[in-house]
Structure 1
Amino acid sequence: MDVLELTAIGSGQQDLVGGKAAGLAGLIRLGERVPDGFCVTTEAYGAGEVPRAEVLAAYERLGGGPVAVRSSATAEDLPHASFAGQQDTYLDVTGGEALIEAIEACWASLHSERATAYREANGIPHDSVRMAVLVQRMVDADVAGVLFTADPLTGSRSASVVDAAPGLGTAVVDGATTVDHYVLDGTQDDGTQDEERGCLTPARLKELRAAGDRIKDLLGAEQDIEWAYDRDGTLWLLQARPITTLFPAPPPSDKPGPRLYVEFGHVQGMLQPATPMGMSTLKSMLAGMLAAFGLTVEIVDIGGRLYGDLTDALRDPSTRQRLVKLMAVDFGPRAQKAVEHLLEDPRFAPRKTPRTRNAAAMKAGPKAAAGILGALARPARARARVFGEIERLRRQPVADPATTAELLDLVERDAESSTLADAIIWPVVSGLAVSAALPPLLKGVASEDEIHTVLGGMPHNVTIEMDLALWEVARRAEPHREMLLGTPSSELAAAQLAGRLPDFGLHDFLQRYGTRSAAEVDVGVPRWAENPTPVFTMLANYLRVTDPEQAPDHRFERAADRAESMLTDLTLRARRKQALRGRLAGFFLRRSRELSGLREAGKFAGLYALRDRRRRLLLIGAELQAKGLLADAGDVMFLELPELRTAVETGTDLGDTIAARSATYERELRRRTVPVALLSDGTDVETLLPAPPSEGRTLTGTGAASGRVTGRARVVRDPSDASIEPGEILVAPTTDPGWTPLFLTAGGLVTETGAVMAHGPTVAREYGIPAVICVPDATSRIRSGQLITIDGATGTVTLDG
């Protein structure tokens, strides 16, 4: 079938007619007004020659005259990739010969440089794409443009956006002219009141918004719609495709809106999505952790990321100001600015609400007080209890039940009891509390940069100990330097797992730290013990360190010496201000050095439970694979526990569910930015803030580790295969403990998100390397090899070359 009328295209024929033609045919079936036309199908493209007779006959049936000839590739107008402007369109094509040439040109555009690059960026195999061509009667346009049923800049689903210009719509979509821009949000001044405003009347704006709402509801997704009004005032729809750039909206809530959702993952240095099984585990873990503090926060999954509903705290007169301080300490400056902005939003004005007694909070209160005060009074004893509990968890013998059903029972029970022992929780909280107390206690005495210096070279940090242990492995591996630097990391990993490598200490390292990985809080992610490829990549980085002064252990010692010196200096300064204040400052400064390093201990301890849960889930997955219910044991990570129960008990094949979720997960892995704060209508709160002033070649963020350094940038988005030369400045979206071994060779750190007390800045301070966090678009504005200067005191990154 080489040529098919638009009205003859049925549902499910996208492989034959491509995305654009399939979308327009769908609109016709829904009763919408679409210009007549026909499609030269992918079967004709596969034959390699335009079916001349059939095309000319269809053109004659269309009445001849000017037509639009547009690409309609199979990978086009997809839910996750629009391909807008990537392949060619030809307008006002008149005559049979010109039509044949335009079709051939559309075919050729499938292999243009821009279309090829777009497919690669979206993970679409080149050999999977075929081209159909859409031919439609031209609309004699009086005015034309684009309608977005949601605001593509803010993400708001409460507003529609229209760009319009007189004549053909190409001027709008090509950006070739100044357009009239309308935001239709339902308010009285949403562009429909002023008869003189722009090229669209209020009546036409109203008609466009109604059409958009109708099509969105019919197709089940927000739409990017091209339209035109002809000289008679009739509205024609020229294209409708999903808006692919929107971050997913929060799930519907039965609570009064609007709601505020703050993202939790970036605090842990995790911007990538969690697998469905990982998400269910994370929810239970976070709920258990919050319950230990007597807190109840609704946790929701948005785009595979963890968000907490903080609306009630924002509206509560007694907690709203404290929430801003909480954002600064625990969520970072980006979240803090977003919440501060909403304090002035009348929709989040303070409301008096009936107070209920929180039994969990009342129960947790005395326990928390006793645990925190005990750690402050006897920090060495508190540390001993923490590390004793971690060692107990590491050595604890674990047995797996014999049957799949028993394994699943155990996994479900563990999911309901994801809490850490008090022996770990309260010393960790104590360390966080004393660090948070330093800025107000030392106000007027010490700068933030000086306080950061005190928090450098911090002892008792399990992540730092891990990094230094890997450095020791690298030193022992020096005799095998040539092999380790000349063999791909993946091959070395396979040899290690097969027992074919010489023993230079890596086996013992993986025994202790093999539960770790990047994005390690997701049970769906392989651990280093399963795939040590990233560890070999990091070892190669360490082996490139030849300057003794750059040795990580020496850098850590220097940072610790500077911290101790600054602690003494700040204590004396505070005493000169006021004796009592000086004693308090000295006490808290000393306790910060004795307890703050424990902040990594809680997460590290929790990894043992995740290790066991992952192993058991994979055992269940292997059994289902043996029964033909899963293609791979790891597919179990794309199910949720109730679904897994159904598969185990009834033998239900969930292959379609797994395939759909796996595709969504892969798509979200490619997402470069994740909103730190969302409203319930999908609005990214940061887009509502005033744009920061541009200062030429200086990028502004937040200083998180003191110092100033100039070096070549190394932009890294995935730590598993990252090579960093000694002294290069690591530029990353974010970092978690799985990234931190890279810091041992880095000269500095720049991230796009994070918090001062998050993993990345904390570890940067330990090694005495400067860090600037929350630099917008750092990974796209800075290129690898570029000379940059970062200043942890001013929070700036200067592009030097």
Structure 2
Amino acid sequence: MEKYLLHFNDIRKQDVAIAGGKGANLGEMVCAGFLVPPGAVVTADAYRQFMEENGISISEIMDNAESTENAAAYIRKAIVSGEIPANIKEQIIGFYLTLGTNARVAVRSSATAEDLDDASFAGQQETYLNVIGEEALLQKVKECYASLWSSRAISYRKAQGYDKQKVALAVVLQQMIESESAGVLFTQNPAGNSDDILINASYGLGEAIVSGIVSPDEYICARDGKIKKSVIGSKEIQIVYDGQGTKKESVSAEKRKQQVLDNELIRHLVTETLKIDVHYNCSMDIEWAVKDGKIYILQARSITTIGDEPQKHFSDTDFAGLPVIKPAKGRMRENVLFNLEKLPKPYFPLDHDFGDAVGKQKEVLITEVGFSMNAMCPIDDYGVSSFNMGGMKPNRNIIHLPGILKQMKNEEYNTKKSSESLRSCMERFEQEKALACVSIQELGESLRRMQVLIGDTAYGRFRYAVFPQVLENFSLGRTLKKVNATLNSYDLMEGLDYVTADVNRAMADIARRIKGNPDELKAVMSLTFSEIVQKYPDLSEAFDGFMEKYGNRSDFNCYCFIAKTWNDDPDRLLGTLRTMLRSKDAKILSKQESDAKFEALMTRVKDTIGEKTYVKFAAKVEAVRHYHIIREATQYLWESEFAYCRTLLRSCAAGLDVSYDNLLYLFAGELFEACRKGQLDDGMQTLIAKRKAKRALAEAYWNKCMEESLATGNSGIIGVSGSSGMATGKVCIVKSPAEFDKLQPGEILVCTYTDPEWTPLFMLAAGVVVDTGGTLSHAAIVAREYKVPAVLATGDATKKLKDGDFVVVDGTNGIVITVPVT
């Protein structure tokens, strides 16, 4: 007879597909010797067998339903009224009877896409506590199955990119512990010093904390268990048993004032949970309970994000042995700041090897034309990156320089080659995705091929589009100045269909639709993405179409593994959309308006320079417009390539039984070798630990490099002209997309960097000031498009200015002047 129920000691962490995330982690901890209440898992195969024998076809129901909400309701009803197959029922009841007469059990959903390192699906399916009796137990198993198809759970999975027809559900059956106290512990404080332990504790069952209905005690502890800070919560109620299920019960005034856990028990709790941290080799989110002085582990999952840890203080002694930082001046300073637009933080080792597959192609091209240059941002074996301020020197390829420059001015050749290169890379990418790698060895080889493909995508972009475009821009710019001194070559991009313009137009269409519906407007400005798509099916459909085309737009487009796309984090898309909705004048022309603007400009040029000269000018314009399309298409292609690499790495992490975050500390060659072996040996584990310990130093040194190499030596704010004109206004410093809502119409946007996600902010800003970038950077291009004065490459404007300062942005001369407020 097929086994549809597995005891915890028969399950390991890698058995997510069988036991779900929760069940796999519980089995892992039991096998590692941690004190976990007795339990078992009704496997995902049991769910599939139940659905098959009851004739419930998810795809058929979804395809025929009028809406997702209607489909979800129909599926839930069919499941709850269904019959659990006899062989599965027999195994469930057989296990239940081993726990004793009328045993109290918790019945917990454990989805096969749950408690993974890249996403926490907590709260998306149901948990039932204090279930007693065979019939009640079987009913709660079915109700767990049904909860997989709540509207909320479907919307969440859709937002996270998990296929609604492939997800399955296991169910954890676990003997209840009538705890005196319970809570949650983080082995890395997510809101403070990463070396600290954070504990929340309350009386009764832990559900009171998990559901957020009490204000628990909060203890911040050192890793030896010593309390550094204690906040006594109000703890007005506790959750306790109530026959079948649970009930809320008042806590006495005396107990509310007391510390739930004494100091000795806190030390014991820290000691035990840190063993779990060591076992998993990553920071953990742990649910625990205390009964008769014993600590039971109820659940554990990895903390799902790499937080922005507070900066520790480092002295020059800590930086000893690292490259000496020299000031960058003149053209070198501009080059450094242009490159830093893509590197607001130092690389992790794996990000370096994959992200630098893009930047490295510039070095390859420079070498081909006859100059040798050192890596812009070298990284040492500890994972510490630095700036390289060295220049270039000729090599023996210099004899090819005239021929290559001539080739880069051959519009017909470059147009053809850039299109061929893009098409080839897109075809290879589709072929790679179609392979559906399964084994850890196959995953490693796929990542190796993806690294090569990313480099090839970048080479074709730079060699046949970007570099030729830069060369042509000079001559086109000179001609345009004869028409109007404010014009530049980017005015020639009007009317084009390229990714960023298409994204902006598509988003503007959604914004116009939302502005015409007051209810939708209110929802979009206040609710989460998952809440919006659940409440407004028609708007959800519009978002689906947008995400299908543009959902791989990323925050750091030259970072591979720590970047997130709109598909990964759709609430970030809302931040961008809300900025557009707050703008009275969207400033985004329709395709027809943009076409007309381009034709009008070309007519003005023709009238100014004459028919004969215009023919050559128009041919160059056609080529440059093609180059720009290629430039944008390859940008979005490697963002999509990077997104797929993250999918592969998540599978690698599961196969290697290690957290996703820890793999970031390996260089590409080391990762490929681990995949080849099918395991992380002791040497690689040591490397990860060594580099992880150096990460805070790496970030501090990177900041020191930025500050000291780019210091101007004066108190003024001096940069380069990104977009001409002058603007006066109040400063608003925006540090990340999470702060987009800060910027108000008419304020001066001041930030460290921008990328395409920031584009709608230029609709609100009167002027723009950026620490990084340059005349060809994203901020400059968008500022010129929207006629917003901009000063870029200031180096430290975000440090010299503060919210509320009044400044004059002189985009023509590249300076920012602070205006005293009287």
Select 2:641's aligned residue among 609, 612, 627.
Answer: 609
- C-alpha deviation, 1:738, in angstroms: 3.5
Deviation by residue 1:540-588 (Cα, 9 ceiling, x = unmatched): 222223x2xx11324998888777766665676667xxx9988766765
Alignment of 1:532-551 (within 5 A): 532-545=570-583, 547=584, 550-551=585-586
Report the equivalent of 1:471: 508
Query: 1:445 & 1:728 partners in 2: Cα distance?
Result: 33
Select 2:654's aligned residue among 622, 630, 634.
Answer: 622
- Equivalent pairs, count: 499
Select 1:432's aligned residue among 470, 474, 486.
Answer: 470
Compared CA separation, residues 674 and 655, structure 1 to 2 (3 A): same
Question: What SS does structure 2 have at the residue aligned with 1:419?
Answer: helix
- C-alpha deviation, 1:751, in angstroms: 0.2
- C-alpha deviation, 1:394, in angstroms: 7.5
Q: Which structure exhibits the higher relative contact order, with contacts defined as CA atoms closer than 8 Å and separated by 6 or more residues?
A: 1
Query: 2:756 & 2:592 partners in 1: Cα distance?
Result: 20
Question: What SS does structure 2 have at the residue aligned with 1:459?
Answer: coil
The amino acid across from 2:566 in the alignment is W
Compared CA separation, residues 265 and 705, structure 1 to 2 (3 A): closer
- C-alpha deviation, 1:261, in angstroms: 13
- C-alpha deviation, 1:730, in angstroms: 1.7
Question: What SS does structure 2 have at the residue aligned with 1:769?
Answer: coil
Deviation by residue 1:457-484 (Cα, 9 ceiling, x = unmatched): 5734422322332222333344322222
Report the equivalent of 2:207: none
Report the equivalent of 1:407: 443
Report the equivalent of 2:357: 284
- C-alpha deviation, 1:493, in angstroms: 5.1
Report the equivalent of 2:663: 636
Compared CA separation, residues 374 and 399, structure 1 to 2 (3 A): same
Alignment of 1:337-486 (within 5 A): 356-357=396-397, 372-375=409-412, 398-417=434-453, 418-420=455-457, 424=461, 425-438=463-476, 441=478, 449-451=486-488, 454=491, 457=494, 459-478=496-515, 479=517, 480-486=520-526
Report the equivalent of 1:715: 733
- Cα pair 2:486 2:724 within 8 Å, conserved: yes
- C-alpha deviation, 1:445, in angstroms: 5.0
Alignment of 1:578-597 (within 5 A): 588=620, 592=624, 595-596=627-628
Compared CA separation, residues 482 and 122, structure 1 to 2 (3 A): same
The amino acid across from 1:618 in the alignment is R
Select 1:700's aligned residue among 715, 718, 723.
Answer: 718
- C-alpha deviation, 1:757, in angstroms: 0.5
The amino acid across from 2:643 in the alignment is R
- C-alpha deviation, 1:535, in angstroms: 0.8
- C-alpha deviation, 1:449, in angstroms: 4.2
Compared CA separation, residues 686 and 747, structure 1 to 2 (3 A): closer
- Cα pair 1:752 1:774 within 8 Å, conserved: yes
Compared CA separation, residues 519 and 486, structure 1 to 2 (3 A): same
- C-alpha deviation, 1:408, in angstroms: 0.7
- Cα pair 2:337 2:771 within 8 Å, conserved: no
Deviation by residue 1:53-82 (Cα, 9 ceiling, x = unmatched): xxxxxxxxxxxxxxxxxxxxxxxxxxxxxx
Query: 2:340 & 2:315 partners in 1: Cα distance?
Result: 31
- C-alpha deviation, 1:712, in angstroms: 3.2
Compared CA separation, residues 383 and 419, structure 1 to 2 (3 A): closer
Compared CA separation, residues 268 and 732, structure 1 to 2 (3 A): closer
- C-alpha deviation, 1:485, in angstroms: 1.2
Query: 2:617 & 2:704 partners in 1: Cα distance?
Result: 38
Question: What SS does structure 2 have at the residue aligned with 1:601?
Answer: helix
Report the equivalent of 2:765: 746
- Cα pair 2:579 2:760 within 8 Å, conserved: no
Query: 2:441 & 2:627 partners in 1: Cα distance?
Result: 43
- C-alpha deviation, 1:769, in angstroms: 2.2
- C-alpha deviation, 1:431, in angstroms: 2.1
Compared CA separation, residues 367 and 540, structure 1 to 2 (3 A): same
The amino acid across from 1:301 in the alignment is P
Report the equivalent of 1:89: none
Compared CA separation, residues 452 and 793, structure 1 to 2 (3 A): farther
| Pair 1:771-2:790 in alignment | yes
- C-alpha deviation, 1:765, in angstroms: 2.0
Report the equivalent of 2:549: 512
Runs of 5+ consecutive residues of structure 1 not aligned to the other structure: 1-118, 133-239, 253-258, 320-354, 678-683
Deviation by residue 1:317-372 (Cα, 9 ceiling, x = unmatched): xx6xxxxxxxxxxxxxxxxxxxxxxxxxxxxxxxxxxx5358xx95x987885575
The amino acid across from 1:485 in the alignment is M
TM-score, reference length from structure 1: 0.52
Compared CA separation, residues 437 and 122, structure 1 to 2 (3 A): farther
Report the equivalent of 1:236: none
Question: What SS does structure 2 have at the residue aligned with 1:505?
Answer: helix
Alignment of 1:12-23 (within 5 A): none
Alignment of 1:247-262 (within 5 A): 249-250=322-323
The amino acid across from 2:499 in the alignment is V
| Pair 1:271-2:344 in alignment | yes
Compared CA separation, residues 370 and 356, structure 1 to 2 (3 A): closer
Deviation by residue 1:358-408 (Cα, 9 ceiling, x = unmatched): 8xx95x98788557514489x6x7887687668757765532222101211
Query: 1:447 & 1:647 partners in 2: Cα distance?
Result: 59
Compared CA separation, residues 657 and 423, structure 1 to 2 (3 A): closer
Question: What SS does structure 1 have at the residue aligned with 2:434?
Answer: coil
- Cα pair 1:706 1:770 within 8 Å, conserved: yes
- Cα pair 2:734 2:751 within 8 Å, conserved: yes
Report the equivalent of 1:599: 631
Report the equivalent of 2:756: 737
Percent identical pairs in the alignment equals 19
| Pair 1:503-2:580 in alignment | no
The amino acid across from 1:506 in the alignment is F
Query: 2:402 & 2:637 partners in 1: Cα distance?
Result: 23
- C-alpha deviation, 1:505, in angstroms: 1.8
- Cα pair 1:714 1:728 within 8 Å, conserved: yes
Compared CA separation, residues 467 and 537, structure 1 to 2 (3 A): same
Query: 1:298 & 1:740 partners in 2: Cα distance?
Result: 33
Deviation by residue 1:177-220 (Cα, 9 ceiling, x = unmatched): xxxxxxxxxxxxxxxxxxxxxxxxxxxxxxxxxxxxxxxxxxxx
Compared CA separation, residues 674 and 515, structure 1 to 2 (3 A): farther
Report the equivalent of 2:801: 782
- Cα pair 2:789 2:810 within 8 Å, conserved: yes
The amino acid across from 1:481 in the alignment is L
Alignment of 1:662-681 (within 5 A): 662=692, 664-665=694-695, 673=703, 675=705
Query: 2:549 & 2:620 partners in 1: Cα distance?
Result: 32
- Cα pair 1:533 1:720 within 8 Å, conserved: no
Query: 2:579 & 2:569 partners in 1: Cα distance?
Result: 18
- Cα pair 1:788 1:797 within 8 Å, conserved: yes
- C-alpha deviation, 1:731, in angstroms: 0.8
- C-alpha deviation, 1:426, in angstroms: 1.1
The amino acid across from 1:402 in the alignment is V
Query: 2:334 & 2:388 partners in 1: Cα distance?
Result: 5
Q: Once superposed, what is the RMSD of the aligned Cα atoms?
A: 4.8
Compared CA separation, residues 790 and 260, structure 1 to 2 (3 A): closer
TM-score, reference length from structure 2: 0.51
The amino acid across from 1:610 in the alignment is F
The amino acid across from 2:652 in the alignment is I
Question: What SS does structure 1 have at the residue aligned with 2:636?
Answer: helix
Report the equivalent of 2:175: none
Report the equivalent of 2:21: none
Runs of 5+ consecutive residues of structure 2 not aligned to the other structure: 1-189, 197-218, 229-312, 326-331
Query: 1:524 & 1:655 partners in 2: Cα distance?
Result: 19
The amino acid across from 2:542 in the alignment is G
- C-alpha deviation, 1:616, in angstroms: 1.1
- C-alpha deviation, 1:243, in angstroms: 2.5
Query: 1:746 & 1:261 partners in 2: Cα distance?
Result: 24
- C-alpha deviation, 1:752, in angstroms: 1.1
- C-alpha deviation, 1:282, in angstroms: 2.4
| Pair 1:528-2:566 in alignment | yes
